Amino acid sequence: MAEVKKGQEMLDASVVPGKWIITLHPDADVATVASHIVKVREIHTRNVGSRDVTEQESGGIERQYGFGSFKGYAGSFDAATIEELKGLPEVLRIEEDTIMTTFDFVTQSNTENWGLAAISSRTKDATDYIYDSSAGQGNYNYAVDTGVRITHQEFEGTRAVWGYNAVNDKNTDNAGHGTHVAGIMAGKTYGVAKKAIVIAVKIFEGNSGQMSVVLDGFTWAAQDIVSKNRTATAVINMSLGGAASATWDAAITAAWAQGVLAVVAAGNENRDASLVSPARSPEVICVGNLQRDDSRYGGASGSNYGPAVDIFAPGTGIVSSYRTSDDAIQVLSGTSMASPHVAGLVSYLRGLEGPMSAEKVKARVLGLATPGRVGDAMGSANLVAYNGAGRNGTVKRVGILR
């Protein structure tokens, strides 16, 4: 019998009525998967034709997932169809689809770019960003987010491209979050890896959307990285999250097994990050929000904490590019802003030291980090992201911006 996880069992989950995500056993081969899909369509058609179902339950299979050991699909199904799917031997897990959100929460007027300086210093109150001129060149940062304004001057006309739109045909960032995140990773002024390429993967129209859509975008990014032999030069950033999900655990594990690294935000609920996906997955680098005084951001929108959090990075009052024009900037806060500092650092270190596997670069980021610097770490790893301050001798020094 398949494991079934319903919304009431998922802490703080916002369930999408009639929408389900089904995961198949990892050892299901191509023929088994194909046969199963045909069977599901037959079951659903029969049930829809013989019962009164809601519009939300009538769609059937809408998205399919498949990379490595992660195989499954999502769609709109009635209760009778779900009941039959539970008994199919190839079905591993059934979860109700839920809403995921971005992790930014406040806009400020202070445009002091302190975050870059903070990751190139072992101590707080640094005023310069010190970095090697390699600056992440030859590396790729996949922004699974709200889209990216690729024409923004921070990306210099060529360093941001559209990869995939899982939501609609509007290849624009209508929320601003994705453009801000991309600028932190790779903007010429505000970015950690100033020469890296940004790949836009749109999964939200606005600041929230369905888990099934986010999984679609993540699947595309993982497949693109593997198919283009970029596992040693590419990283996925996901400044978003939702309820703890075994389906997300399986997807992250499958990507990791194929050599794909994801950096993710810990979340802004001031609670244990083990309650949040994909933050809780052990293969990711889960990033908490550091304030300028080296304390964890607390309060109602505080950074999540606990053993799932691997590292902290600047996330409070961070200036970066924005969606409203090609030179617009905005100041945002949250673990959404902390995560791309680390994703950018992954590309920076690979640009400086050469291509590295997911496992090796994750260990490098954590090994290079400054220990014991975070106030109120609350059981998280007490580490702050650090870039080594340009060890190859071709160092650049940029004063923080006002």
Domain ranges (residues) in the chain: 3-97, 103-399
- Cα angle, residue 101 at apex, residues 100 and 103 outer, rounded to 5°: 140
How high is the mean pLDDT of the chain?
A: 92
Q: What is the pLDDT of residues 228-261, one digit of tens each?
A: 999 999 999 999 999 999 999 999 999 999 999 9
Question: According to CATH, what is the number of the domain 3-97?
Answer: 3.30.70.80
What is the distance between the alpha carbons of residues 10 and 7, in angstroms, rounded to a whole number? 5
Can you give the pLDDT at residue 11? 44
Active site residues: 145, 177, 336
* pTM for the full predicted model: 0.94
Length of the chain: 402
What is the distance between the alpha carbons of residues 165 and 162, in angstroms, rounded to a whole number? 8
Q: What is the pLDDT of residues 78-106, one digit of tens each?
A: 999 999 999 999 999 999 999 999 998 65
**Beta-ladder partners of 265:** 287
Task: Give residue 8's pLDDT band: very low, low, confident or very high (50, 70, 90).
Answer: very low
If you count DSSP H runs as helices and E runs as strands, how many of each does the chain have, helices first? Answer: 8, 22
Residue 388 Ramachandran class (φ > 0 left, ψ -120 to 50 alpha, else beta):
left
Give me the phi and psi of 258, to 5 degrees please: -95, 5
Amino acid 370 reads: T
Q: What is the pLDDT of residues 147-200, one digit of tens each?
A: 999 999 999 999 999 999 999 999 999 999 999 999 999 999 999 999 999 999
Q: What is the pLDDT of residues 268-320, one digit of tens each?
A: 999 999 999 999 999 999 999 999 999 999 999 999 999 999 999 999 999 99
Question: According to CATH, what is the number of the domain 103-399?
Answer: 3.40.50.200
